[in-house]
Amino acid sequence: MNRMRNLFIGFFATFISSWLGLVVAPHLQFGGLKEHLDEDENQYLPPARTGLAERGARVYAANGCVYCHTQQVRPAHQGSDLARGWGARRTVARDYIHDRPHFLGTMRTGPDLANIGHRQNNEGWHHKHLYAPQSVSKGSIMPPFRYLYKTQRIVGAPSADALQLEGPDAPQPGFEIVPTEDAKALVAYLISLNRNYPLPEAPVD
């Protein structure tokens, strides 16, 4: 029985060292980060997300966007992230306080999305890109998300939010393609991704 106890103390000790170091200590150090009040602009940073964008984050998770897109900008000495225009500054811990769960990602089959809302804030572009990626990004290997859209017969005037598609992606005459609530939420979320504001620990120069 003695041997068993000692063996378990060893297992416990080695494991708890990493648990304290990589879980508890980071949590105590910056788990309580709060928004920063920017007095010049009189707004809290990072800004809170709208309800629609928050719902969009669920759609982002459900469809596995994170497997090809990161949401983190590395500092200038680590990779070409800044030089590629993926952000005005590196991202820091405070940028993620609203993320539940986090979408930092580990793979860049597609470009980083930490600031996609800054680079592209046109809803129509995002909808076309999600429906038929190659129609706006030639050579893209992003899967089409047609199931987030519905095809319907035009009754009366065409819908205001119908996609402006051309060529083989366009619907048959008399029909139109409109985004579902999920697609609208996802695009609202993507446009909300903009971490280019200055923070005390990460100024934009």
Our CB check for other proteins shows the closer of 44 and 147 to be 147
Beta bridge partners of 81: none
Our CB check for other proteins shows the closer of 1 and 40 to be 1
Find the helix or strand (DSSP H, E) in which 60 lies.
Answer: helix 51-62
CA distance 117 to 110: 15
Give the shortest CB-204-to-other proteins separation in angstroms. 15
CA distance 4 to 120: 60
135 close to 142: Cβ distance less than 8 angstroms: no
Our CB check for other proteins shows the closer of 40 and 163 to be 163
Give the shortest CB-83-to-other proteins separation in angstroms. 4
Give the shortest CB-131-to-other proteins separation in angstroms. 10
Per DSSP, the three-state class of 150 is strand
CA distance 160 to 173: 17
Give the shortest CB-102-to-other proteins separation in angstroms. 4
Our CB check for other proteins shows the closer of 37 and 39 to be 37
Our CB check for other proteins shows the closer of 42 and 203 to be 203
CA atoms within 13 A on the CB side of 147: 4
Give the shortest CB-12-to-other proteins separation in angstroms. 8
125 close to 83: Cβ distance less than 8 angstroms: no
